Amino acid sequence: MAFSLAGCLTIPGWGVIRAEPSFDQTAGYILNIVRAFRTAYVLHVVEHARDAGLSPREDWKTDAHFLPLPAQFVKEAAEQVEGLEIGLISLTPLNPANRPRTDAEMTALLQLEKDRQRGVIGFVDGDEFKAVSADLALVRSCVDCHNQHPRAVRKNFQQWDVMGALVVRLKRRVEGEGQALPPEPPKRAPGLLEGPPPPPTITPPWVR
């Protein structure tokens, strides 16, 4: 008990050791936040704006009356983040750049398509830790946009289908085989309080 309490105390001159969340937890937090923002954008911005004559368009930057597609919204937001990569992947993407980059990403995406109830799948892939979360067709407009797009490879999506996945990629430190201990520091002369006491300069009166 004393040991655990000591780890929670802040003592002047001592470093405070804090628990560091695992890659799995960190990736899960990030994906949950991204998914929440994407869902809110689809349900409360895109769908609401349709009533005012605004619509999401792939070329949204060319007209102030257009909105970015949900996938473009995620990518634009992800570009504001440093130190990690957030994106979307799909087996049948409209943008070829959104294909899975590795076999591990492909395998994780296939697992999500088989079981949409799985929350987050995390895995190590080379020098990165990655996690994916299902990207669902939340509203009918998502389905229509993909099925009717001229570059669509698949044209039979239904609402609530897994259309792809949100992905987060985190760099991880790859440990080597170990390093030799550093050399011992050079010996120094003993300090004032470390050496023997100096001889007295004046003979005390009790010394005969």
Q: What average pLDDT does this structure show over 41-63?
A: 85
Cα separation, 12 vs 3, whole angstroms: 18
Phi, psi of 129 (to 5 degrees): -105, 130
Query: Is residue 94 classed as helix, strand or coil in its secondary structure?
Result: coil
Q: What is the per-residue pLDDT across 194-203, written as a single tens digit (0 to 9) for each? A: 555 555 556 5
The pLDDT assigned to 17 comes to 40
Radius of gyration of the chain (CA): 30
pLDDT tens per residue across span 139-179: 888 888 888 989 988 999 998 899 999 999 998 875 544 44
> What is the phi/psi pair of residue 23, to 5°?
-55, -40
* Percent of residues, the chain, with pLDDT higher than 90: 35
Model-level pTM? Answer: 0.68
User: Which residues, other chains included, contact 110 with Cβ-Cβ below 8 Å and sequence gap of 6+?
Assistant: 91
C-beta of residue 162 within 8 angstroms of C-beta of residue 134:
yes
Task: Give 197's Cβ-side CA count (13 Å radius).
Answer: 3
Token representation of residue 110: 């296939």
Distance CA 146, CA 163 (A): 9
